[in-house]
Chains A and B, each alone.
Chain A
Amino acid sequence: MSELDSLKNRALDQLGACSDESSLRNWNSQYFGKNGEMLAALKKVSELPPESRKEYGQQANIVKEQLSASYETALKNCLEQAMLKSLETEKLDISLPGMVPPAGKLHLATQTLRDIQSTFAEMGFQVFRSREIEDDEFNFVLLNMPPHHPARDMWDTFHTTDPGLILRTHTSPGQIHVMRKFHPAPIRVILPGMCYRYEAITTRSEIMFHQVEGLVVGTNVSMTDLIGTITAFTRKMFGDSRQVRIRSSYFPFTEPSIEVDMDCIVCGGKGCPLCKKTGWLEIMGAGMVHPEVMKNGGYDPAKYSGFAFGMGPERIAMLRHAIEDIREFWGNDLRFLSQF
């Protein structure tokens, strides 16, 4: 038996005895490593007399190919066996809790504001923001409430030590700002922002809250448009089967003024604790912009008309998520905020 044959037989025997991946890898480096026996055998060709070289070389290469192929097959089989074995043994208790990647959330108020904004955006409303610290003129006078007007009692106001400077009690001063900026162009905006009221903080009332005011001004804007717009909004926000009820109301800056109710989202109008058994939930105040306010904004009320509405995102969120206590909003407890 030639030296090559015995090398081959020995190698194949040894290969056959390999039972796992690591012994296979060892075998491989024993024969094919830097100083491996197979390479040594191949190199030997240079030591032979020239006439034997060709045959030896051919033989050696054949042996090399055979060994190499056998190794690849054995390795492949071994890995496959190992995998099959692992499929049987590696069983997870899939009932154990998963690892939730740490996530952040937007504040519930922001989420609600965005919902409102995108709903109105689809109806062509753009966002206009204005200041929170206002003067009496913009918060009251230009909105048809001269000093001592009885309607001022509707808003408990935070005054500042600067006479006439107050924290806005509603987003309505934005109506004047936006009208003065854009007149005589048509207007279709919502005015979201923080408002302040001098009130005791309770489960139902806060000193600070968001409001989203809407304002539409043009030469062709009417009460039926207002009703159509807020009905569309209500159905988009609360479901397309919602019923809307309009009540007469009063705001000094709109005339006629209305209050908008929708049928209770819990009981559908039968009466339940959420709607205090009335079947209705109040969602916003609205009305046709008062001619005085139109004038103060720079629009001629004989030619232009407009409507305005206002709602509280926190209140809407409370309705949607059955939140009992408005103080949760600025309490910023992660256990509350992370739910939304």
Chain B
Amino acid sequence: MKVPIRWLKDYVDFDLSLEALVNRLALAGLEVSGIKHWGVPAPEGLRLGTEDPYPVWDKDKIIIGLVTKVDKHPDADRLKLPTVEYGLGRSITMVTGAPNLAVGDTGQKIILALSGSVLFDGHATPKVLKELKPGKIRGITSDGMVCSGFELGISEDHDGIIILDDDAPVGMPLVDYFGDSIIELDILPNKARCLSMIGVAREVAAMTGGKLKSFEHKPNSFGPAITGKVNVVIQDTSACHRYTASLIENIKVAPSPAFLKRRLHQAGMRPINNIVDITNYVMLEQGQPLHAFDYDVLCSRAKGKTPEIVIRFATKGEKIKTLDGLDREISAETLVIADALGPIAIAGLMGGAETEVTESTSRVMLESANFDFLAIRKAMKSMALPSEAATRFSKGIHPDQVIGGANRALQLMQEFAHGLPAEGRIDCYPFPKPLQVIDFSLAEAKRILGIAIPIEECTKLLTSLEFKVEKVSNEMLRVTAPTHRLDIQVGVADLLEDIARLYGYDKFPETSLSEQLPPVLIDPELDFERKIKDTLVHLGLQETIAYSLTSPEAEAAFLESSKPAYVTLLNPISSERTVMRQSMMASIVSLTQANLKHTECVKLFEVGKVYQKVSGQTLPVEPYKLAIAICGPRNKPFWVEDSSGKNNLNFFDLKGIVEGLASGVHLEKVSFQPGNHPALHPGKSATLLIRDKVAGMFGVLHPKLASTLGLDNHEIIAAEFDLLTLASGLPVRYLSKPVSRFPAALRDIAVVVDQSITGQTVTAEIQAAGGNVLKVARLFDIYQGDRVPAGTKSLAFALSYQADDRTLNDKEVDKLHKKIEDRLKHVLKAQIRGKEV
């Protein structure tokens, strides 16, 4: 909502600087999102919206002038020499090319800029400010200029100079005549009443203690009564609460007076003609949209009968050509204004072309009606036809507003279009809206607001917003809402809001909660998630958060074909984000790939949700998953050591992360099996089991998939685990182990076994033979090659023997070591490699 300050001051006097006004409005819930200045300097410290330079109109140099004569330029056909008087007997002749000033013209009020004025250069794009200098144009001295809106910085119009109304005072500085600031307000849904100058003026009055000026205007004379000239039938009273029709005859359609056009322009509307402009002006002033029909067209459509206006829903397939010249099919849930021949307007949205006011119109039927906000919202949506009127209707207007709006329009049409209104109006208002009366208890106010605002203060604040307040007791007020307020619902909550904001939140003290603490809320998953994240960060991984919206194509290769149904967006913003993701591995691989473009070593994880529809259930499930991906060299190249041997991260790095995570959060019953996941290398992937339940998979990205993704040069190792399954491995408590105080004996052992025997099997056998005294059996080398028989491999372990109760002697260690060797030989058919190892 654009509000020119001068226009606002038509309805309320206030003595606030622009800066203070903007601040007060913001505190009261009317945020100013932008400001445009017309020739006035921007106040210090307030540069909202207008960072761009604009001309500031010099009082002494930009002045209202009167054209006394216009002579021909002796040497140029298209140039003219107007002589302009500008007060105190001063006059000046200059050269102009303005098309709307003709040789021989006299009497126009124009805007004169004298040399030294700073204006936009009329010939430069983009706009540049330029000082006007005296000069000669084709031999004639020109020390001034008649101005266009473009040069003044108030419109984009180059083509003609501004012609002011006849009553413009000659010699007055332009900045005094219509210099202004236009503030743009963001109107919240509960302040729809402020989609009008008067609505804003009411707020300013209440805020400043200023008085609202009367804005009720009526025509001062009437012609013959409207009776019998038009009939109105509301067919659907739930969609149209009230419909009034007035008639005005004898009008002359012409351009609007300059002030009216200017105000429409300031408020962001385009002037059309005096009748249409007046309907728009009244809408901007009062918030009540109006529509003018050519009454003679209505009569001719009625073919001699009395025109009958019917407000009804469109029937299937009905069409209308609207004011904008488009043929539109009207959807069935759209309310129309119709006569015997069919729709003449789409209610609240746009009028029809056939009945619109034209230059030849002499009689107008003026509609001032109240449509249900829901009906208009639906129509706006289905017809895709937003308009200033529809916006206002769709946010709700009180039905009492129709009368003031109609009266004001008739008065203006009388004044500016020579019209003679017919006496009376047709007013169809089947179910008048009852007054909203609320019993307001001070105790209740104290309970919600936390402070006791005295009863006199409450009364004063409510009265300032035009509530009627009656004192029932020292504790209770009976409050009647004014008939321009639709937002006041049953109960005190809405009144409290008005009281609190007018009282001023800055006067509210800060208190600490004294309410008792609630019962403890336990969310084990949240705690687990926190631990998982912390552990992975300690293990050197970076947390990421990917979009949870993706496309089925992007993650197809990462999912089993039997995946659950997708949660699919009805209105995606792009083809890349059409569904809610099901694979976190897909999104983390994609993030890894993106980072590999600039970072050598990428180690990422994400804890997030996937989304799966469940058949027979309305709501999808949203399980939490953990995804990990790593890629690149294990160590950063560093200047100290030789970094030539770039060892890349491999399967075992990720397995190590998983093991580190498992031990970091103390998971129990963790085991691994060879994996099978469509996105992973079949021989280089594993399944993670927790208490024998599959928690997820990890491994090297399948070479085929990697190649499809353009990752031939990178080996990404990725994982996805189900968080809840991981959490199932959490013990209720985990036990500590005593630390032995006796020295450990270290021995190595190297065994050659068949290639099919897993490392885990060998370790298990060593551990089984070593018993309690064998504290550590750490694999430190694997060898396959010429030095061992074909089909075998050598595994070397570092063993640490340590008793809890004594120092082991060599003999004991030898015996135990031998036992392990024997067991490996016997059970795994292993060969023990040279003792010297």
Contacts and interface: CB of A to CB of B under 8 A. Distances in A.
The answer to whether A and B belong to the same complex is: yes
Contacts of B599: 334-335
A114 to B, nearest CB: 8
Nearest to A303: B447
A207 B577 contact: yes
Given A224-B451, A271-B45, A258 B505 contact: yes
Interface in B523-573: 523, 526, 533, 536-549, 567-573
A104 B538 contact: yes
A9 interface: no
Interface string A285-314: 000101100000000010001000000000
Nearest to A329: B545
A229 B514 CA distance: 11
Given A207-B577, A229-B513, A332-B591, A105 B537 contact: yes
Contacts of A101: 540
Contacts of B595: 332-334
A149 B394 CA distance: 9
Interface in B9-33: 26-29, 31
Interface in A211-235: 216, 218-225, 227-229, 231-232
Interface stretch (A15-23, A61-69, A71-79, A181-189): A181-189
A94 interface: no
Interface in A127-151: 127-129, 131-133, 135, 148-151
Contact of A133 (B31, B377, B447, B620): B620
Contact of A225 (B513, B568, B573): B513
A128 B189 CA distance: 30
Interface string B618-643: 11101000000000000110111000
Contact of A219 (B494, B515, B545, B639): B515
B591 A250 contact: no
A218 B515 contact: yes
B805 interface: no
B508 A221 contact: no
A153 B390 CA distance: 14
A323 B622 CA distance: 31
Given A148-B378, A332-B591, A250 B191 contact: yes
A277 B510 contact: no
A240 to B, nearest CB: 13
B544 A332 contact: yes
Nearest to B23: A278
Nearest to B377: A148
Contact of A333 (B448, B518, B577, B594): B594
Contact of A99 (B541, B598, B638): B638
Contacts of B689: none
A180 interface: no
B549 A207 contact: yes
Nearest to A247: B27
B759 interface: no
A332 B603 CA distance: 12
Given A132-B622, A133-B619, A159-B570, A107 B515 contact: no
A159 B188 contact: no
B756 to A, nearest CB: 36
Contacts of B510: 224, 227-228, 231-232
Contacts of B514: 220, 225
A286 to B, nearest CB: 11
Contacts of A182: 518-519
A255 B487 CA distance: 11
B511 interface: yes
B29 A162 contact: no
A256 B542 contact: no
Contacts of A258: 505
B467 to A, nearest CB: 16
Nearest to A332: B544
A306 to B, nearest CB: 9
A167 B548 CA distance: 11
A274 interface: no
Contacts of A252: 189
A126 B547 CA distance: 27
B540 A102 contact: yes
Given A225-B514, A288-B493, A248 B500 contact: yes
Contacts of B611: 132-133
B449 interface: yes
Interface string B577-600: 100100000000001001100110
A221 B505 contact: no
Nearest to A193: B609
B450 interface: yes
A160 B569 contact: yes
Lowest 10 A-B CB distances belong to which pairs?
A: A222-B450, A224-B450, A248-B29, A248-B501, A246-B505, A218-B515, A256-B497, A228-B510, A250-B188, A255-B493
28 contacts: A104-B603, A107-B543, A107-B544, A110-B545, A126-B518, A132-B548, A148-B377, A150-B394, A150-B395, A151-B190, A158-B570, A160-B567, A185-B519, A186-B517, A207-B577, A224-B449, A224-B450, A224-B510, A225-B513, A245-B27, A248-B29, A248-B497, A248-B501, A278-B48, A288-B448, A332-B546, A332-B604, A334-B542
Interface of B: 26-29, 31, 45-48, 188-192, 373-374, 377-378, 394-396, 447-451, 491, 493-494, 496-497, 500-501, 505-506, 508-521, 523, 526, 533, 536-549, 567-573, 577, 580, 591, 594-595, 598-599, 601-605, 609, 611, 613, 618-620, 622, 635-636, 638-640
Given A104-B605, A225-B513, 20 more contacts: A104-B541, A105-B542, A105-B543, A129-B523, A151-B189, A158-B572, A159-B569, A160-B570, A182-B518, A196-B549, A216-B513, A216-B515, A227-B508, A228-B510, A245-B506, A248-B27, A252-B189, A276-B48, A333-B594, A334-B602
